[in-house]
Structure 1
Amino acid sequence: MKILVTGGAGFIGSHFVRQLLTDAYPAFEGAEVTVLDRLTYSGNRANLDPVAGSRRLRFLTGDICDPAAADEATAGRELVVHFAAESHVDRSIASAEPFVRANLVGTQVLLDAALRHRVSRFVHVSTDEVYGSIDIGSWREDQPVAPRSPYSASKAGSDLLALSYHHTHGLPALVTRCSNNYGPYQYPEKVIPLFITNLLDGRPVPLYGDGGNVRDWLHVDDHCTGIALAAQRGQPGELYHIGGGVELTNKELTGHLLDACGAGWDMVRHVDDRKGHDRRYSLDTTKACSELGYRPRTAFPDGLAATVRWYHDHRRWWEPLRSLTQ
């Protein structure tokens, strides 16, 4: 099979590519993989170093907003897995334009290319943040979107575009929505790698507001396994939730990270809360479990400990990125 992975040099996309090229997913064994990535601040060729020598890997530096780049990357591909996106909420609050451009316009350009080249399956990777905030219970796939940040609004729009191309043009597109990811190679502006790298350097960590915001944590390997299952078994026009089943307040998460890094609460600095900070996210994964056979396999304590070890052992990867996150 010939597969296009957009954003394949980013955190989640590169994990998916590494797994594909090491034949971790039996349904896609031997697949030829094309990566299209613009290599912005969070896209890093070094994320693909473990598979850089594979004859099955083709890397294209390009922008999904560029029709020529999207066309070249999509031609001859049977499966498109679309990770490429601007994804950091704080950056979207500071400036929404790059998010609208990449997440909406880029997705539209890529969908047009996929339609022209008659791809067999288009998997659009999205986020639980499109739903807004939920006080109790968990969102099902039929819950209306209610995004509350420029980032989540741009992702909600791209989800709807992907589904519209299925219903209008017959493009075999489907959407996955995940909870908060963690694991190796995550850019250190996100909370877990930010806290780990700060603590490894003896720096304090910033905790928003009262620390009571709740997130569900999903190891990147479980997320990518869910995406592979959706690509294999998912139905076009459908939505699937991929969650980790580990809900923690930010304060609870901070406690786990302090323990894992051998630090105390004196390393925590309370900072003003983020604008429009959603209180709680929670996904109902019943549909993915029953229809795709999805189950998260990584126990959170094991996954977090392994993540801390990875950052401890890979300073050469994250130290050059420090200046970009300040």
Structure 2
Amino acid sequence: MLSASRAAFALILTALLLALSPGSAIAQETVVVTELPPYTTQQADGRWSGPAIDLYRAAADRTGKDYRFVAASQGTGEPDFPVYADPNLPSGQIRSLPLHTDSIGLIGIGNRSGFTMGLLGLLTPGFFKTVAIVALLVLIAGTIFWLVERRGNDNLQADGSKSRGIGQGFWWAGVTATTIGYGDVVPRTGGGRIVAMIWMLFSMALTAVFTAYLVSLTGQQGGSRSLSEAVAGKQIGIVAGGAVVRSDLSQAEAVQTFATLDTALAAFDRGTIDAVAYPYQPARKAAGDRNVSATDGSIALPVFRVSSDELRQELDRAILSPAWQERVQQAFSR
């Protein structure tokens, strides 16, 4: 009886020592999370959601990592994710690939749509330069047509006035290029008809190119505005330590740095700055009823800062997968 009690006690003691010994269980790690919609969002009950949260959970589960999420606002140290891919971070840190490539957005400078935006999109030096080039081509074609047709076409003689005759040729070339074809001026000679045929074929391509250019100026779906032109001569705010840095906004009149996005938006509301530069997709979530426009400036953001190379490899593998790219696009489209 005594020997049985001793054996039982020995088994209990052995189990206790094993439980308390180092490496007998996986220690729970605190993961500091920054709220950055739509990547990470903390619900009212404290739970975390978002594509970056799901990605971390899946990679951590595959590597057997035990963890708990803690909000960065609770002052528990530097955030682990999402953090921006700052090249000045210590080289010894293990960081994943960027989760997403986004464009630089401007809060306070809106993408106006419809008729108004269509008109404003034409008021650019590039548009007027293109119109001048097209007009010159039409004038050259009209002049050639007049030179060939002037002796055999009464409509181009214009009472013997050379300028008025060239003007009639210019009118014909413009009407022909736009396929309107009023019929008031038509080729009468063989040479004029050859010129007309060549011009009609050429103007088909010219019209297609010009139309595509107009669409690029006025179409908003899938389009973005020039960052340098949008910030030129303006006071722009950025968030300290964020993805958008001063060098991205070299054309701005001045760049002010703010501790948080909220303080930057407050400065914009007061009229202290003209716009806030911020990653476009998160800017759409944070801007409220303020206008937000996308630009042609691009940034890679954000990354995971992890404690092991094994976890980094799992995260990178998932980030490079088509499924992750589709998931991110779905989150942004909502």
TM-score exceeds 0.5: no
TM-score range (shorter-chain normalised) is under 0.3
Q: Highest Rg: 1 or 2?
A: 2
Q: Which has the higher contact order (CA 8 A, sep 6+)?
A: 2
Q: State the TM-score, normalizing by the size of structure 2.
A: 0.20
